Structure 1
Amino acid sequence: MTAPRISTVMWPMQSWPEAGDLWRRAEELGFHHAWVYDHLAWRGTTPWYDAYTTMAAAAAVTSRVRLGTLVTSPNFRHPVPTAHAIKTIDHVSGGRLTIGIGSGGTNRDSDAGVLGGDWTSGERADRFGEWVELLDRVLRGPETTSEGAFYTAREVVSEPGCVQRPRVPFVIAGNGPRGMRLAARHGSGWVTSGRAEGRAPQDVVRERLEALGKACEAEGRELDDRVLLTGFTDEPWLASPEAFADLAGRYAELGVTEIALHWPRPGTPWDADMKVFEAIAAQAA
């Protein structure tokens, strides 16, 4: 059993240069990834800055930590300009970018419905699948033309392409059969929170990893990364370094390879003792 990598989730709420100081601090603490949410807004939080612009700026002031979205939202992004931004940030960062992708939120306090997209769960899944497939094609290049049900690309030239080849890695969020098939087909990794009403998170993750394994077997592929986004269950991840180590060991036994901890945010459910947070990062580093 290999100990999981430890990453953090940044809140895009501070203006520059304060935000830059926090991203540099994430690198100094030794986190593997510094992830950021991709929303137009999030649960009514203000201010809330753009994820891709933030990652580009963070790439310019860091040199080691990997950067990424948890997760990019098809609710308000088209695959073609998104691919263009991804290639740019991959070059700015020197090949340190990972793109997490999900089907998009449904909470109207976040980005759902802002642009008038009142979609059923089936419609969101259809859009998600087409979005990922087109993004994959555009990033791989060299030229893409596609007429889909939701998205169109006409003679899109991808050169010079990404620094990372054949493209920037995808980590795909999907707990249902269609999402897992998408992850198995196009992802280098998969992400979940382990949250399910009335169920123990570890049982949920175990069951989902078993289903993911079957999806990968059907596609003839293996996923290197299985990311657990913490903070959405009652587990005491940041209660103490000892509590973290215990939980991390349990999830590593299940097959989780990376654990993402939210940067402590006072006055919210993600509040935590910064000294504990830094001690956990130091142990992981």
Structure 2
Amino acid sequence: MTSPHRLSTVILPVRRWHEGGRDQWLRAEELGFHTAYTYDHLSWRSFRDGPWFGAVPTLTAAATATSRMRLGTLVTSPNFRHPVTLAKELISLDDISGGRVTLGIGAGGSGFDATALGQEAWSPRERADRFAEFVPLLDRLLTEGAVSHGGTFYSADEARNIPGCVQRPRLPFAVAATGPRGLRLAARHGQAWVTTGDPKLFESGTPEQSRAALRTQLARLGAACEEAGRDVAELDKILLTGFTPDRGRPLESLDAFVDFAGEHYALGFTEIVVHWPIPGSDFAADQQVFERIATEALDKLGR
């Protein structure tokens, strides 16, 4: 997967497919984005009282509408997923897309859809414990024809996944992680690693502090890869923007994005992801500026 200077987008599933939703995904491909992702949630923050559609059906529709651009979740979590059923959906989606799917996967959070199935919100340790079992089992389900597993949280009884993924040995995992256990999972099972930065710096940190925190995260990823016997260069490093102290800066202008992206590519990131503008939300931005960034920024950065 590794290649420098990729630019991708996140299209939140807030529009009906036949009322502008399809057009967004088609436009993303026309603009040349490497990947168009969507959140895999049941609802999310300020959007929870408005339209919000399912990630896998949305990506399936996008797969039939597009032909070149990669597609993915950013991210899927155990909050309301089970490895057995998720594997079947992913193999189907990978087939429909012709092998263009990346699974962004993380441990999940404590809000929004964490309690939608009626359970109590899991503690950080419980989420980490589940994630540590979820990822290896999903890896097996996507690479083996039949899987049985009796785990603490997840079980499988001769779960069949024939013919497997179009992408071999399976579709790539982009593992979102900042803690030691998650980074070990990224090192062992990931083809990419995802971060949004240091959440403790979101409200009152500075851009310089954020870059220092990201540098530390990248170093820890390198150490986890060394421990796992992998070259960290094998993994793409993905920054999902919008959650660092300078969250509004990247989409203010083309030059602002080029400066921001250049700083973060220099840290070692290979892919930067920007949110498709949504008026009246935290992700509001000028659509024309956004499209100029999509079509001109990488050339300015020298690809």
TM-score, length-normalised on structure 1?
0.96
**2: CA distance, partners of 1:156 / 1:197:** 41
Match of 2:264 in 1: 251
Match of 1:20 in 2: 22
TM-score, length-normalised on structure 2?
0.91
SS at match of 2:215: helix
The answer to whether structure 1 residue 42 and structure 2 residue 53 are counterparts is no
The answer to whether structure 1 residue 179 and structure 2 residue 188 are counterparts is no
Identity of aligned residues (%): 52
Letter in 1 for 2:42: L
More deviation, 219-228/65-74: 219-228
8 Å Cα contact 1:75-1:117 kept in structure 2: no
8 Å Cα contact 2:147-2:158 kept in structure 1: yes
Report matched runs for 1:179-258 at 5 Å.
179-198=182-201, 199=205, 200-222=209-231, 223-235=234-246, 236-258=249-271
Shift of the alpha carbon at 1:3?
4.8
**1: CA distance, partners of 2:141 / 2:274:** 32
CA separation of 1:188/1:45 partners in 2, compared to 1, >3 Å: closer, same or farther? farther
Match of 1:11 in 2: 12
The answer to whether structure 1 residue 66 and structure 2 residue 74 are counterparts is no
Shift of the alpha carbon at 1:196?
3.1
**1: CA distance, partners of 2:267 / 2:158:** 44
The answer to whether structure 1 residue 151 and structure 2 residue 160 are counterparts is no
- Point out where structure 1 has 5 or more consecutive residues left out of the alignment: none
- Point out where structure 2 has 5 or more consecutive residues left out of the alignment: none
Number of equivalenced pairs: 282
SS at match of 1:52: helix
8 Å Cα contact 1:196-1:204 kept in structure 2: no
Q: Which runs of 4+ in 1 moved over 6 A?
A: none
The answer to whether structure 1 residue 103 and structure 2 residue 112 are counterparts is no
**1: CA distance, partners of 2:120 / 2:185:** 22
- CA shift digits 1:196-220 (9 cap, x unpaired): 3244221111010000000000001
Letter in 1 for 2:195: T
Shift of the alpha carbon at 1:249?
0.9
